Amino acid sequence: MTQHASTFSISLSYDEAKVFYTGSKTRIQVTAFDGKTINLPWSVLQPYFSGSGVQGRFAITYDSAGKLVSIERED
């Protein structure tokens, strides 16, 4: 199966990211540097949530059906 990769940056403050913990939002949409719109479940970014929110540059790999294979913070 063919895999694809994209990279994006995100900067959510603690208060902005907190809405995902209340359950009012479960997905987050980002725009990759190559212009692709990516809709991710919050659960993939949850491990990167800290007292300052979620910040960083991330690389994701996904299959030809658009299913997430992996995500890693680059910085």
Residue 20: per-residue pLDDT: 85
Alpha-carbon torsion (73, 33, 64, 1), positive or negative = negative
Stated pTM of the model? 0.88
Q: What is the pLDDT of residue 23?
A: 80
Q: What is the pLDDT of residue 22?
A: 81
From CA 32, how far away is CA 9, in angstroms rounded?
Answer: 7
Dihedral sign, Cα of residue 65, residue 67, residue 72, residue 73: positive
pLDDT score at 18 = 87
Residues in the chain: 75
Ranges under pLDDT 70 in the chain: none
